[in-house]
Structure 1
């Protein structure tokens, strides 16, 4: 499983025009279960995604298609981890490690 952090590399006024395309991209990946969770950082300096287990190269290819990245307004940082402890109801996440 992966935690992906998104960091804006441009001012919000340069990020905002790409927000609709980025949202469509996120919705597509979530509907395909290629991302499990996506949200904004607080304060709004980027975002955070939770991605299921997959080859790291596949995740890199997916992240390279992010409209924010394609338009040079954000970067991604990826941390792979193995879920060992989960809250009740989230046991399926343990199989993602």
Structure 2
């Protein structure tokens, strides 16, 4: 399991230019089962993605497809963790 923290490196006007493509990318990754949750940071300085992948290397390949990454609009901090305790509704995440 991974927490991906994106921090924008540009003005929001640049982010907005690629937002539709980024959302389409997110939808593809949800459909593939890689992403479990995502959303904007508050204040709007980036975003967070809860992801699953076989390895960090695989996740980095997945993240390389993000238009924000391809256009160098954000920095990506990837934290790997093993969920050992969850709320009942998220028990499927336990490893």
TM bracket, shorter-chain basis:
over 0.9
Q: Residue by residue, what CA displacement relative to the aligned partner does 1:32-70 show, whole Å, maximum 9, x if unpaired?
A: 111111111011000000011421110001111110011
1:72 CA drift (Å):
1.5
Shift of 1:29: 0.2
Q: Does 1:2 align with 2:7?
A: no
Q: CA deviation at 1:22?
A: 0.1
Q: CA RMSD in A?
A: 0.9
Q: Which runs of 5+ in 2 are unaligned?
A: none
Gaps of 5+ in 1: none
CA distance in 1, matches of 2:84, 2:53: 14
Where does structure 1 differ by over 2 angstroms across 4 or more consecutive aligned residues? none
Match of 2:14 in 1: 14
Residues 1-97 of structure 1 correspond to what in structure 2 (within 5 A)? 1-95=1-95
The 1-side partners of 2:71 and 2:82 are apart by 32
Q: Work out the CA distance in 2 between the residues paired with 1:61 and 1:85.
A: 28
SS of 1:79's equivalent?
strand
